[in-house]
Amino acid sequence: MPRLALALVLAALPVANGIAQRSATADVVLVNGRVLDPETNLDAVRAVAIRAGKIVSITASVPAARDTIDVRGLVVAPGFIDLHSHGQDSVNYGFLARDGVTTALELELGTYPIAPWYAKREGKSLINFGASASHPGARRAMLDGDSTAEGADVIGATGAFVRSPIAAARLPELERRLEVALDDGALGIGMGINYTPAATREEIFHSFRVAARHHAPIFVHLRSAGLVENAGGIAGVQEVLADAAATGAPLHVVHVTSMGLAATPALLDLIDGARARGLDVTTEAYPYTAGATMLQSAIFDPGFQERMGIDYKDILWTATGERLTAESFDRYRKQGGLAVIFMIPESAADQAYRDAPVMVASDGGFQFANGQPIGHPRSAGTHARVLGRFVRERKVISLMDAVRKMTLLPARRLERVDPNMKHKGRVQAGADADLVVFDPATVIDRSTFERPAQYSGGIVHVLVNGTFVVRDSTLVSGVAPGKAVRGPVSRKPPPRADSLGER
Ligand SMILES: [Zn+2]
């Protein structure tokens, strides 16, 4: 090396060291908080240091940082991961962030097609987002030539896809459509069999085979719910457990309490029994006694009272807040819109949450009328409600178990399809800095059936990939740190749009 060059290198060394030291300074350190990590069972006062979107250390001493925040008396937990979130827009993301959610995924009904859905949210999202491949959406594209409904909007749509079977000869086309969506990065396949009652058992079985080939989970709203013999929640679970066993597809049964109603313990026994015999099957519940869905959907086809064990008065019309009668039911069903259904026993959510592997998921998503959010209070309050009412007030489950159900368990559900989920749902060095800081003494849902669009209380700070989205219980504006959660994108080259009859 020429002497001059060597001198330059030596002269540069202290500067390089200085840069290294400065870059070792954390961006943010949360100090004096009670840190919960549901994987290692850490429950202790620690300093959590964040740099470049990642957690870099969890220590008893306090490292240097550009932004040091004292969170004494508060809990620092992994940000909540909601596997069942229909509200995939900026207003809903705000309500979710104020409820501690850092990742919201539309997995029950999914979306179809996949690529444009992700493209629309990339770089613009407050929290992390993702979706499964929509079985009803793919059906609608085949039978109605229409794939314009995004996410759960498909269940508000009408058309042949609701009540027409797919001929056996056309099942390979359905499989191909679902394959393309998975190759585009869908996190699995989502289906609401109850909403497409004409989907035959053979069709559902074929869809499970697609999921199995991709090692992708299949998220199912069962064919039947409630207590009617041979057409209730037990029969619904038995169908999909058989398909999972026969194909090897990982299975996730959505909202077990609104499927099982008073038979929820039997559904849990079926799911736990299948898992004990080696099947990869999981489930979730929301912490409310009412469900919600579109009044025009097939769920309310004749006989719904017997199926759900309800009467008209148990249905709340969200647009006006009124309870329905036979007359108003018929009128609003023709008009279409969101209804809340009081049908779940008080005991069902307790039974579900006491079952260790059962996750918390909201099934939420506000719709909009005249620009105002309307819908079920679960859209804003699910996670704070579990922490405030099920943990603190009623002591149904421990704080660590509740956090595990909202973080580690949903992350693990998706690790095989998106390996980056191994870095979420944990407070560990190297994990993504998706964090929620809440006050365990005051955290509470404020959203009610009468006034659902209320932010939760006691959620103090929320960070997504190291960026504050909630700070001092206030939404931060002008930030979009949310990233896509998605499976491997393996489709090459993209098929021509006309080859699938897409619009
Ligand atoms: Zn559902």
Nearest residue to 407 (alpha-carbon basis) of 39, 26, 28, 16: 39
Q: 463 and 435 in contact (C-beta within 8 Å)? A: yes
Task: Report the separation in Å between the CA atom of 151 and the middle of ligand 1, taken as the mean of its atom positions.
Answer: 12
Q: 142 and 177 in contact (C-beta within 8 Å)? A: yes
Task: Report the separation in Å between the CA atom of 468 and the middle of ligand 1, taken as the mean of its atom positions.
Answer: 31
Assigned domain for 6 exists: no
Task: Report the separation in Å between the CA atom of 85 and the middle of ligand 1, taken as the mean of its atom positions.
Answer: 10
Task: Report the separation in Å between the CA atom of 197 and the middle of ligand 1, taken as the mean of its atom positions.
Answer: 14
Task: Report the separation in Å between the CA atom of 282 and the middle of ligand 1, taken as the mean of its atom positions.
Answer: 15
Task: Report the separation in Å between the CA atom of 352 and the middle of ligand 1, taken as the mean of its atom positions.
Answer: 16
Tell me the C-alpha distance between 106 and 182, whole Å.
Answer: 14
Task: Report the separation in Å between the CA atom of 325 and the middle of ligand 1, taken as the mean of its atom positions.
Answer: 24
Task: Report the separation in Å between the CA atom of 488 and the middle of ligand 1, taken as the mean of its atom positions.
Answer: 26
SS3 call for 285: strand
Task: Report the separation in Å between the CA atom of 220 and the middle of ligand 1, taken as the mean of its atom positions.
Answer: 8
Q: CA of 145: how far to CAs of 118, 148, 264, 499, in Å? A: 22, 9, 38, 12
Assigned domain for 326 exists: yes
**What is the per-residue DSSP string for 117-168?**
HHHHHTTT-SSEEEEEEEHHHHHHHHHHS-----GGGGGG--SHHHH-PPPG
Task: Report the separation in Å between the CA atom of 173 and the middle of ligand 1, taken as the mean of its atom positions.
Answer: 25
Tell me the C-alpha distance between 312 and 300, whole Å.
Answer: 11
| pLDDT of 490 | 85
Task: Report the separation in Å between the CA atom of 364 and the middle of ligand 1, taken as the mean of its atom positions.
Answer: 10
Nearest residue to 98 (alpha-carbon basis) of 75, 77, 127: 127
Task: Report the separation in Å between the CA atom of 189 and the middle of ligand 1, taken as the mean of its atom positions.
Answer: 14
Tell me the C-alpha distance between 354 and 357, whole Å.
Answer: 9
Task: Report the separation in Å between the CA atom of 259 and the middle of ligand 1, taken as the mean of its atom positions.
Answer: 9
Task: Report the separation in Å between the CA atom of 495 and the middle of ligand 1, taken as the mean of its atom positions.
Answer: 31
Assigned domain for 310 exists: yes
Q: Name the CA radius of gyration of the chain, rounded.
A: 24
Task: Report the separation in Å between the CA atom of 255 and the middle of ligand 1, taken as the mean of its atom positions.
Answer: 7
Assigned domain for 91 exists: no
Task: Report the separation in Å between the CA atom of 33 and the middle of ligand 1, taken as the mean of its atom positions.
Answer: 37
Domain total of the chain: 1
Tell me the C-alpha distance between 190 and 219, whole Å.
Answer: 5
Q: 270-273 — which CB contacts under 8 Å span 24+ positions?
A: 270/234, 270/237, 270/238, 270/241, 271/237, 271/241, 272/355, 272/357
Task: Report the separation in Å between the CA atom of 226 and the middle of ligand 1, taken as the mean of its atom positions.
Answer: 13
| pLDDT of 22 | 47
Tell me the C-alpha distance between 405 and 321, whole Å.
Answer: 32
Assigned domain for 309 exists: yes
Looking up tokens 């007359």 gives 327
pLDDT in tens, the chain (503 residues): 445 444 444 444 444 444 444 457 999 999 999 999 999 999 999 999 999 999 999 999 999 999 999 999 999 999 999 999 999 999 999 999 999 999 999 999 999 999 999 999 999 999 999 999 999 999 999 999 999 999 999 999 999 999 999 999 999 999 999 999 999 999 999 999 999 999 999 999 999 999 999 999 999 999 999 999 899 999 999 999 999 999 999 999 999 999 999 999 999 999 999 999 999 999 999 999 999 999 999 999 999 999 999 999 999 999 999 999 999 999 999 999 999 999 999 999 999 999 999 999 999 999 999 999 999 999 999 999 999 999 999 999 999 999 999 999 999 999 999 999 999 999 999 999 999 999 999 999 999 999 999 999 999 999 999 999 999 999 999 999 999 999 998 865 555 555 554 44
Assigned domain for 44 exists: no
Nearest residue to 436 (alpha-carbon basis) of 40, 21, 81, 6: 81
Task: Report the separation in Å between the CA atom of 106 and the middle of ligand 1, taken as the mean of its atom positions.
Answer: 11
Domain around 296: 290-343
Which backbone phi and psi does 172 adopt, to 5 degrees?
-60, -30
Assigned domain for 402 exists: no
| pLDDT of 119 | 97
Helix pair 346-354, 399-406: axis angle to 10 deg: 90
Assigned domain for 478 exists: no
